[in-house]
Structure 1
Amino acid sequence: MDSTQADATAIGGGLHHPVTLSTSSLFPESTASAFEVAARLGFDGVEVMVGIDQVAADVDALEKLRDYHGVPVTSIHAPTLVVTQLVWRGTGHWDKLRRCAEMALALDCDVVVVHPPFRWQGDYATGFVAGIAEIRRETGVRFCVENMYPWRTPAGEYAAYRPTWDPTDEPFEHLTLDLSHAATAQVRSLDLVRAWGDRLQHVHLTDGQGSFRDEHLAPGAGNQDADQVLHHILGHGYTGDLCLELNTRAADSRADRERILADALAWTRDRVAESGRLAPQPS
């Protein structure tokens, strides 16, 4: 794995591994709420979803939240979702990624999560593979391209992403695994991580049942064998973040939302500790 990744350290016969919280897990609450909850529940850091609110696009505000709550920012999610396209309006796609890199470096991290572009995004889409390699060299930041899924419609599947929703066969140096996206694509996350090897640099730890909707369930609540995925990657040297990116919008209250996140954090840390006691799986 990349030597710049955070080290996992042995504690009590198991492993302490960075388990972080995506600010999107608090939506529709604010970025500030995510820092508050991450600190209270004991997460090791946060991933900032740029575009969730104005604060998420303001590096000075993020620095203040980081320092006040004592929770580091460990990754930045670029505003590449359909609903975040208007963030930094008037800025080109590549310049948005450069701003994300500048934000990451200012906040002392070096991971930017980016979705493959939509087919209708012109030169950004057609030049994406070469452009990601170039911006990595230019900034020194790891741009971890995330697996997505085909859009399923009554008329059939629609290939919305270019060059593809599945980065496996593309020459990206760094990749993000999202287990919910794998479920929506009706593929196995375990197959992806075995195929990716050391290119796996970031994980959105979540789950899904294979619905046409991107569900973002708690890990273990879907069909992606999240425990086996953790056992495999940790047994093969993965030291990057395990970022909980969950959909908690159905929560009835802040207390209910925090319970969902606390349970997922405990589930993850239990599996990490268990993986530290087990022999690695064969490749």
Structure 2
Amino acid sequence: MENTPNQPIEVALSSSCIFPPNLEDTFATAVDLGYDSVEVMITGSAISQEPYDLLKLVDKYQMPISAIHAPTLLLTQQVWGRAWNKMQMAAKLTKSVGASVIVAHPPFRWQRQYAKNFVEGVREISQAEGVKIAVENMYPWEALGKSVEMYLPHWDPTRFDYDWMTWDFSHAAAARVDSLEYVKKIGDRLGHVHLTDGKGDKVMDEHLMPGYGKQPVAETLEYLADISWYGVVCAEIDTKGKKTGERDEMLVETLQFAHRHLRR
């Protein structure tokens, strides 16, 4: 799902914002709080992997799925087997539920065979299935005070000829790069945005609420509104340990931030 000319940029709710993971709760929360759509992160949960179950939730809540997050995280390495199988199944699922974008992480450094033809392989599956595979920006890890490259061909997708990219503000903070500068560099290849933030002073990403870190999140959203960007901005903030009421307050504030700076 994408906005069309003269329509506002949509704001989605990622299922990763609901903890413990619960897809029904994700759809219900998205409706209650006024989000436009849902991004489903594929996990070990059978519901997240089955088009029939996902479409039942779409119909029940009248809430579309705009993006699928492929199981390419460290914690989902056992889902759907081999790396390329994950991508192919994610593409078929994306098409089946009416979404248009797959969010995918680059390979880990130990996945050398997978990484070898990653750029070309992603393009082939994307074209064959008719969906966007938007490779997400990541960040270098740190060990004993030293930067460690954990992703191949690199954590920075702008170095390669990907057709589409996902931009994540929290990952940008961890990598200590300027999101507005990079989003302008990506240009027409920007396929999806993860709305979050980070201070950049920790080893890993933080997924703070937008405006609570050091990234130019407001300025970047305003830029996207100015250029009439086609795509979806998806809230992906960390709400672990929060009670339902506090979590929903965070998600409402995140949505309001998005609406304000996307000029909705």
TM-score (norm 1): 0.89
The answer to whether the aligner puts 1:230 opposite 2:227 as a matched pair is no
- Please name the residue that 2:55 is paired with: 63
1:39-61: per-residue Cα shift (whole Å, max 9, x none)? Answer: 11111000000006332112211
- Does 1:45 pair with 2:37? yes
Question: Match of 1:5?
Answer: 2
Alpha-carbon distance between aligned partners in 1 of 2:141 and 2:204, rounded to the nearest angstrom: 9
Does the aligned pair in 2 maintain the 1:101–1:110 contact within 8 Å? no
Q: Deviation digits for residues 211-255 of structure 1, max 9, x if unmatched? A: 21210011111111110011112212312001000100031x111
Alpha-carbon distance between aligned partners in 1 of 2:164 and 2:194, rounded to the nearest angstrom: 14
Q: What is the rounded CA distance, in whole Å, between the counterparts of 2:117 and 2:215 in structure 1?
A: 32
Q: Distance in 2 between matches of 1:181 and 1:204?
A: 10
CA shift, 1:78, in A, is: 0.2
Letter in 2 for 1:71: M
Contact 2:101 2:134 in 1 (8 A): yes
Alpha-carbon shift at residue 129 of structure 1 (Å): 1.1
TM-superposed deviation, 1:8: 5.5
Match of 2:46 among 40, 54, 62: 54
Q: Secondary structure at the match of 1:149?
A: coil
Moved beyond 2 Å, runs of 4+: none
- Determine if contact 1:8/1:18 at 8 Å carries over to the other structure: no
Aligned pair count? 263
Q: Please tell me whether the aligned partners of residues 91 and 125 of structure 2 are also in contact (alpha carbons under 8 angstroms).
A: no
> Which 10-residue stretch deviates more, 222-231 or 233-242?
233-242
1:127 counterpart residue number: 117
Whether 2:10 is the aligned partner of 1:18: answer: yes
**Distance in 1 separating the partners of 2:21 and 2:109:** 31
Contact kept, 8 Å, 1:30 with 1:52, in 2: the verdict is no
Measure, in 1, the Cα distance between the counterparts of 2:63 and 2:207: 23
Question: Which residue does 1:212 correspond to in 2?
Answer: 203
Provide the TM-score with structure 2 as the length reference: 0.96
- Once the two structures are overlaid, the 10-residue window that deviates more, 22-31 or 178-187, is 22-31
For the pair 1:179 / 2:169, whether they are aligned, the reply is yes
Pick from 134, 157, 170 the counterpart of residue 144 of structure 1.
Answer: 134
Is 1:80 the counterpart of 2:72 in the alignment?
A: yes
CA distance in structure 1 between the aligned counterparts of 2:132 and 2:257, rounded to whole angstroms: 28
Query: Which of 173, 182, 185 matches 1:192?
Result: 182
Q: Which residue of 2 aligns with 1:106?
A: 96
Q: Which runs of 5+ in 1 are unaligned?
A: 11-15, 275-283
The percentage of counterpart residues that share the same residue type is 39
Match of 1:244 in 2: 235
Q: Give the SS at the match of 2:262.
A: helix
The 3-state SS of whatever aligns with 2:173 is helix
Answer yes or no: is 1:28 the counterpart of 2:28.
no
**RMSD across aligned positions (CA):** 1.4
Q: Which residue of 2 aligns with 1:94?
A: 84
Is 1:270 aligned to residue 260 of structure 2?
yes
> What SS class does the counterpart of residue 116 from structure 1 fall into?
coil
Identify the range of structure 1 (183-192 vs 24-33) with the bigger mean alpha-carbon deviation.
Answer: 24-33
Residue-by-residue CA offset, 1:101-146 (whole Å, 9 max, x unaligned)? 1111111111101000011113111110111111112111100000
Question: Retained in 2: the 8 A contact 1:111–1:142?
Answer: yes
Residues 29, 50 of structure 1: alpha-carbon distance in 2 compared, 3 angstrom cutoff: closer
Say if 2:141 and 2:204, in contact at 8 Å, map to a contact too.
Answer: no
Q: How many angstroms apart in 2 are the aligned matches of 1:165 and 1:59?
A: 30
1:54-77 Cα shifts (integer Å, max 9, x gaps): 321122111111110111000000
Asked whether the 8 Å contact 2:44–2:76 carries over to 1, the reply is yes
